[in-house]
């Protein structure tokens, strides 16, 4: 049976985003840029979102963009939006990981605003899709540990929760649990999203 991460299996706060003194300063600068460039959410963000809003609308947009890029769902597989990947990540942060949420928020800020510093003239989610892919790939290969840690941490979360969707299991050769999973109200599966948020059944 596939399990959600717990404190033993999930990356720790230090492992997720190692913020050195220089890294902390960099995030402070990114916060200043955020104030200079108001981050209005994408138009349909609130309409499609079904989770508790731990993340701001802009952070959620960034998480959706990263999920779409790093998962790269092939034809015949559900998209990351269909699989509610971003919502699943957000729900997990509200339920189990406590202070790790602040590191995820910091990572999302890094990923969203780095393109501005790289001369693109816009934040990640305001760039064309092909340019978004280029920017995320650049982060993956970057020689700065802070940038790579932000990318790798978000990538882990997105891929993990995407492949807990039963529609993706055939692709990875997983036949499913031997015993049908029972509904667990405090769990984090797609079926938990409507029940916990009052969204569509």
Per-position DSSP letters for 103-169, written without gaps between them = HHHHHHHHHHHHHHHTT-SS-GGGS-HHHHHHHHHHHHH-S-HHHHHHHHHHHHHHHHHHTTSGGGT
The percentage of the chain sitting over the pLDDT mark of 70, rounded to a whole number, equals: 60
Range of the domain at 101: 18-168+182-197
Asked, for residue 3, whether it belongs to a domain, the answer is: no
pLDDT band of 141, cuts 50, 70, 90: very high
In a domain, 132, yes or no: yes
Q: Which residue has the higher pLDDT, 15 or 85?
A: 85
Q: What is the pTM of this model?
A: 0.72
* Burial classification of residue 57, based on how many CB atoms lie within 10 Å of its CB (0-12 exposed, 13-18 middle, 19 or more buried): middle
**Mean of the pLDDT values across residues 154-164?**
93
Cβ atoms 135, 118 nearer than 8 A = yes
Report pLDDT for 201.
37
173 lies in a domain? Answer: no
What is the distance between the alpha carbons of residues 66 and 153, in angstroms, rounded to a whole number? 11
Residue 189's pLDDT is what?
A: 60
Mean pLDDT of the chain: 75
The answer to whether position 81 is within a domain reads yes
Collapsing DSSP to helix, strand or coil, 201 comes out as coil
Residue 35 lies in a domain: yes
Cβ-based neighbours of 57, under 8 Å, separated by 6 or more: 41, 42, 45, 46, 49
| Residue 33 or residue 97, greater confidence | 97
Give the chain's domain count: 1
Q: Is the pLDDT of residue 30 over 60?
A: no
Provide the pLDDT confidence category of residue 126 given band limits of 50, 70 and 90.
very high
11 domain residue, yes or no: no
């Amino acid at each position: 049976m596939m399990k959600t991460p717990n404190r033993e299996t999930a990356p720790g706060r230090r492992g997720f985003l190692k913020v050195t003194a220089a890294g902390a300063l960099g995030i402070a600068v990114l916060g200043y840029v955020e104030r200079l460039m108001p981050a209005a959410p994408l138009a349909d963000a609130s309409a499609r979102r079904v989770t508790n809003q731990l993340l701001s609308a802009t952070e959620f947009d960034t998480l959706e963009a990263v999920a779409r890029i790093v998962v790269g769902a092939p034809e015949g597989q559900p998209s990351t939006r269909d699989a509610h990947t971003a919502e699943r990540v957000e729900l997990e942060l509200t339920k189990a990981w406590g202070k790790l949420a602040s590191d995820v928020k910091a990572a999302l800020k890094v990923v969203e605003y780095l393109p501005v510093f790289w001369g693109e003239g816009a934040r990640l989610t305001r760039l064309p899709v092909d340019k978004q892919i280029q920017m995320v790939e650049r982060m993956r290969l970057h020689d700065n540990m802070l940038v790579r840690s932000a990318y790798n941490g978000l990538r882990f979360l997105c891929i993990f929760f995407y492949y807990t969707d039963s529609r993706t299991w055939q692709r990875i050769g997983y036949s499913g649990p031997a015993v049908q999973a029972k509904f667990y109200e405090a769990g984090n599966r797609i079926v938990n999203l409507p029940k916990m948020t009052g969204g569509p059944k």
